[in-house]
């Protein structure tokens, strides 16, 4: 009977330890997100591709408008489309 008591005690302590550790991971993750969001956005360096590009004149006006709208929505109005190329 004593072994069952020790087993249940270990079970409860183990479950509590797991929940405490998971809670700490969640708190640290949220803290990391808050800290990362405090830094200003870093401008990405444009990458030059050596792939032959489709001239922008061959891109349909509706397609160009859809791409510009998507970029504007995703970047919150901060981004812009400077060149459309087919990869």
**Taken in order 33, 36, 40, 46, is the CA torsion positive or negative?**
negative
* pLDDT > 90 fraction of the chain, expressed in percent and rounded: 37
- Give the count of domains, the chain: 2
**Cα(28)–Cα(50) distance, rounded to whole angstroms?**
42
Instruction: Answer yes or no: do 9 and 21 share one domain.
Output: yes
Instruction: Answer yes or no: do 12 and 25 share one domain.
Output: yes
Instruction: Answer yes or no: do 53 and 87 share one domain.
Output: yes
Range of the domain at 24: 1-39
Instruction: Answer yes or no: do 81 and 47 share one domain.
Output: yes
Least confident span in 10-19, 40-49, 50-59, 74-83: 50-59
């Amino acid at each position: 009977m004593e072994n069952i008591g020790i087993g249940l005690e270990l079970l409860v302590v183990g479950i509590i330890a797991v929940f405490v550790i998971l809670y700490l991971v969640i708190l640290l993750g949220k803290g990391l997100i808050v800290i990362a969001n405090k830094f200003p956005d870093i401008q990405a360096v444009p990458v030059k591709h050596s792939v032959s590009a489709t001239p922008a004149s061959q891109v349909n006006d509706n397609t160009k408008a859809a791409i510009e709208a998507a970029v504007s929505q995703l970047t919150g109005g901060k981004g812009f489309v400077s060149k459309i190329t087919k990869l």
